[in-house]
């Protein structure tokens, strides 16, 4: 035997449910909109900061690769062919932003190479400095070259 709606609730109970369950109030709506906006603002800010860090990391990696190549070139010279009077040496380098294949968006930087006699070898210090829209950034890489003779 099935029960009818009128058997489950009295008329007073049905009237009370209709009066009290009208939906959300204006304050509840405003609070929920504020919470959603606050959370979305945080997520967008995190995305923006993550993008900045990814770009900086990419440029720092490129600069470190250029510095490592400079150190490898020095290591390929014979120990006698490294002339300390030629250093410090300053050169211009280009850091590819990777935004386009054109060179117009590359960042110009300066690479300074220092070689210091240290013990039975040379201490090589390579520093790269560049300025982009994140500000002035520099990276330094050090290595030691020794004579095995």
Chain centroid to CA 70: how far? 25
Write the DSSP string, 3-45: PPHHHHS-HHHHHHHHHH-S---HHHHHHHHHHHHHHHHHHHH
C-alpha span between 144 and 118 (Å, rounded): 9
Lowest mean pLDDT among 17-21, 33-37, 76-80, 104-108: 17-21
Torsion of CA 46, 50, 51, 54, to 10 degrees: 180
Question: For residue 80, what pLDDT is reported?
Answer: 77
Check: CB of residue 92 under 8 Å from CB of residue 110: yes
pLDDT at 126: 93
Q: How confident is the model at residue 12 (pLDDT cuts 50, 70, 90)?
A: low
Percent of the chain surpassing pLDDT 90: 24
What integer is the mean pLDDT of 115-134? 87
pLDDT of 148 above 70: no
- Region 77-85 average pLDDT: 81
Give the closest residue to 128 by CA, choosing from 141, 115, 142.
Answer: 141
């Amino acid at each position: 035997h099935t029960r009818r709606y009128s058997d489950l609730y009295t008329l007073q109970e049905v009237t009370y449910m209709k009066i009290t369950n009208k939906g959300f109030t204006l304050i509840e709506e405003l609070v929920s909109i504020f919470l959603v906006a606050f959370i979305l603002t945080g997520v967008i800010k995190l995305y923006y900061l993550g993008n900045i860090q990814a770009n900086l990391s990419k440029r720092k990696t490129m600069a470190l690769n250029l510095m490592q190549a400079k150190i490898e070139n020095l290591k390929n010279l014979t120990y006698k062919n490294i002339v300390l009077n030629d250093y410090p040496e300053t050169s211009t380098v280009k850091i590819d932003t990777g935004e386009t294949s054109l060179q117009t968006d590359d960042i110009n930087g300066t690479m300074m190479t220092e070689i210091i006699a240290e013990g039975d070898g040379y201490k090589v210090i390579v520093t790269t400095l560049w300025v982009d829209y994140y500000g002035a950034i520099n990276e330094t890489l050090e290595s030691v070259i020794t004579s095995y003779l």
